[in-house]
Amino acid sequence: MLYQVYEFQRTLLNPMTAWAQATSKNFVNPLNPLSLIPGAQRFAAGYELLYRLGKEYEKPEFGIKSVLSNGRQIPIVEQTIIEKPFCNLVRFKRYADDAATIKLLKDEPVVLVCAPLSGHHATLLRDTVSTLLTDHKVYVTDWADARTVPLEAGPFHLSDYIRYIQEFIRHIGAEKLHVISVCQPTVPVLAAVSMMASAGEATPRTMTMMGGPIDARRSPTAVNSLASNKSFEWFENNVIFTVPANYPGHGRRVYPGFLQHAGFVAMNPDRHLSSHYDYYLNLIQGETEDAEAHVRFYDEYNAVLDMAAEYYLETIRDVFQEFHLPNGTWVVDNEAVRPQDIKGTALLTIEGELDDISGSGQTEAAHDLCTGIPKTRRSHFTVPKAGHYGIFSGRRWRETVYPRIRDFIRKYD
């Protein structure tokens, strides 16, 4: 019933948020007499904040139209290469009209960015993708909101996630591919490549794993503690709900995005409260650049998706409660996951010094599992003063992390 109550509440709020937005615009419209009354700017800022707190946030677009590459502004076209019920493989195709630039773009490395399926849309990696596009051909896993997937498409398990990744790797071509996994997908990506290696298949040239729970027992965070302190049955009985009738996925059991969002906010409530107050002050003072930065961040942060119940619960059990991967006990579709079988793929792990989602050492644990990769082909980097989002977005990502990844890929391409 919680999902239905949430939808009912959201429906009730829609008229209020629309009214708040219209009222805010009235107070700043120079043709409206309301803009002339004392304190009009404050009223406008207050109503704008009310609108943004109550509005519904849809999936944003990547919106990457061009990038600066090889000294030229290169147009970008977003293409769906493979369309599956729960995920699309998206390519960001770069175009040029002169032979020299075309040759440079053609010879650059191919990268598959495995985006998280943990509450936010793949567009959270917009900065990651746009930066990579300056020197690479880029593909991205664009995961679907489970409430939009009809029941006829069947369930989606953690094993399906692994099979999707394997299919995408095979389609692009493992022999020329570099895989980057950010946060949650580090675990299924490592499993996917391990199983391919065990089967004698070609594996990607490199794997870069960033801020993920390879071994969630190390430096446990609040996220890890919640998963370990509650039983599997507690999660099944308390956070799994049925999609209401107004969505294509009506009847599907999911972990709703609004619950995940509430959890995100609850981790740092003071920071979010301060951010919204600063936004209010920026609007009053006319600091449009800071206000726009706030809008861009929260348009992304507040846009969440539902996860299929079976996928979510299996991730809780296998990754955060029973630690199958580091324990060497993970079996997927009757196949053992053996990271030690990976031999021809170079490994880079990256962690943020101040990461409060994936604690210190959780990603680096991949080195203890991938013993078949020579030490000379393995590397680890801890990003100073970086939190979880800082390792794949923002100034530290562009200036500190990306050059490491770019050089690592070049070394083995």
DSSP 273-298: HHHHHHHHHHHHHT-HHHHHHHHHHH
Give the domain range for residue 284: 2-56+257-301
Element (H, E) at 201: none
The pLDDT score that the predictor gives to residue 101 is 81
> Cα–Cα distance between 355 and 357 in angstroms, integer?
6
The pLDDT score that the predictor gives to residue 4 is 87
In-domain check, residue 251: no
Cα distance between the two ends of the chain: 52
In-domain check, residue 70: yes
Take residue 399 and report the two structure tokens written for it: 């200036």
- Residue 412 pLDDT more than 90? yes
In-domain check, residue 243: no
DSSP 230-265: S-HHHHHHHS-EEPPTTSTTTT-EEE-HHHHHHHHH
Q: How far is CA 375 from CA 104, 179, 348, 368, 379, in A?
A: 32, 19, 11, 11, 8
User: Domain boundary at 282, 301, 320, which?
Assistant: 301
- Residue 96 pLDDT more than 90? no
pLDDT digits (tens, 9 = 90+) for 109-157: 999 999 999 999 999 999 999 999 999 999 999 999 999 999 999 999 9
Number of domains in the chain: 2
Model confidence band, residue 98 (pLDDT cutoffs 50, 70, 90): confident
User: SS3 of 346, please?
Assistant: strand
Model confidence band, residue 222 (pLDDT cutoffs 50, 70, 90): confident
Shared domain check, 160 and 92: yes
Shared domain check, 155 and 297: no
Shared domain check, 369 and 326: yes
Asked if residues 211 and 392 have their Cβ atoms less than 8 Å apart, the reply is yes
In-domain check, residue 89: yes
The pLDDT score that the predictor gives to residue 178 is 98
Q: Which residues of 111-138 are buried (b: 16+ CB within 10 A; e: fewer)?
A: bbbbbbbbbbbbbbbbbbbbbbbbbbbb
Asked if residues 306 and 259 have their Cβ atoms less than 8 Å apart, the reply is no
- 365 closest CA partner among 320, 331, 326: 326
Shared domain check, 278 and 398: no
The pLDDT score that the predictor gives to residue 35 is 81
> Cα–Cα distance between 124 and 63 in angstroms, integer?
12
Shared domain check, 312 and 174: yes
Asked if residues 139 and 90 have their Cβ atoms less than 8 Å apart, the reply is yes
What average pLDDT score do residues 260-274 get? 85
DSSP code of residue 18: H
Take residue 135 and report the two structure tokens written for it: 């020197």
> Cα–Cα distance between 139 and 125 in angstroms, integer?
12
Shared domain check, 84 and 34: no
Shared domain check, 407 and 292: no
pTM to 2 decimal places: 0.92
Shared domain check, 379 and 345: yes
pLDDT digits (tens, 9 = 90+) for 183-211: 999 999 999 999 999 999 999 999 999 99
The pLDDT score that the predictor gives to residue 37 is 87
